[in-house]
């Protein structure tokens, strides 16, 4: 147990130009092996062209208790969304 391989989070960028996306986790003794393992575990179906791995313990996450102060203010900024603006249909696609 003391010698357990650390946990890594795996991010993969697919063929279609989207950003790296978190796909899951795995265990590996170090980063290089984590990349290799990720290739074998998470791209069995030709899912990706680029792999990132991050040691799970190295991720700093926002704390769930702060959800409200962090994310609610943006709720009120509805003018950031295109649907806020009422443009007549006659203008055409915009």
Partner 1 sequence: MYAQMVKSTGARVKSLDEMDPEERAFQVRIDADIKVEPKDWMPEGYRKTLIRQISQHAHSEIVGQLPEGNWITRAPTLDRKAILIAKVQDEAGHGLYLYCAAETLGVSRDEMTEQLLSGKAKYSSIFNYPTLTWADIGAIGWLVDGAAIMNQVPLQRCSFGPYSRAMIRICKEESFHQRQGYDIMMKLCAGTAEQKEMAQDALNRWWWPSLMMFGPSDQDSVHSAQSMAWKIKQNSNDELRQKFVDQTVPQAEYIGLKTPDPDCKWNEARGAYDFGEIDWSEFYEVLKGNGPCNKERLEARRKAWDDGAWFRDALMAHAKKREARKMAAE
Partner 2 sequence: MKAAAKIDMALFELALRMGDNDIVLAQRISAWCGHAPILEEDIALANVALDLIGQTKLWLDLAGEIEGAGRSADDLAFLRDARAYKNALLVERPNGDFAYTLMRQFLFDAWHLPMLRALKSSSEQRVADIAEKAEKEARYHLERTEDLIIRLGDGTQESHSRMQAALDDLYPFAGEFVAPDAIDDELASRKIAPALSEIGALYFDYLETALAEATLKAPVDAPVRKGGRKGLHSEELGYLLAEMQFLQRAYPGAKW
Yes or no: say if 63 and 22 are a contact pair by the CB < 8 Å rule. Answer: no
Which region, judged by CB under 8 A, interacts with partner 1, from 13-21, 56-64, 72-80, 86-94?
56-64
Kindly state the smallest distance separating residue 48's Cβ from partner 2, in Å.
14
SS3 57: helix
The first and second tokens of residue 23, run together, are 């796909």
Kindly state the smallest distance separating residue 26's Cβ from partner 2, in Å.
6
Yes or no: say if 8 and 26 are a contact pair by the CB < 8 Å rule. Answer: yes
Which of 13, 20, 27, 39 contacts partner 1 by CB under 8 A?
27
């Amino acid at each position: 147990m003391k010698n357990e391989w650390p946990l890594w989070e795996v991010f993969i960028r697919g063929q279609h130009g989207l950003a790296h996306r978190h796909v899951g986790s795995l265990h590996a003794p170090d980063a290089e092996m984590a990349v290799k393992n990720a290739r074998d575990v998470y791209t069995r179906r030709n899912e990706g062209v680029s792999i990132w791995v991050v040691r799970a313990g190295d991720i700093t996450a926002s704390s769930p208790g702060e959800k409200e102060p962090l994310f609610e203010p943006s709720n009120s900024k509805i003018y950031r969304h295109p649907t806020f603006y009422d443009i007549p249909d006659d203008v055409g696609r915009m």
